[in-house]
Amino acid sequence: MHDRKVTPDMAPVIKLARDLGINYALIASYYQINQGRIADVMKGRLFPDISPAIELPADFPMVAAA
């Protein structure tokens, strides 16, 4: 199985999700990508000039607050 590529459309959502404290595994699962691609976005190796999204997509899985 090949690792899917992160697109410029994914990067803002990834950044917002991380800003909200959503873990790498949940974000990676949503996009069906490797958690390393999430790290690439967060470390600025991919799409460093793209800002976080304003809101998450309506179908983004949410974790209940503890």
Q: What is the pLDDT of residues 16-51, one digit of tens each?
A: 999 999 999 999 999 999 999 999 999 999 999 999
Cβ atoms of 28 and 38 within 8 Å: the answer is yes
CA distances from 19 to 2, 42, 44, 54, 64 (A): 28, 10, 14, 11, 16
Q: Where are the domains of the chain?
A: 1-51
Tell me the pLDDT band of 63, cut-offs 50, 70 and 90: low
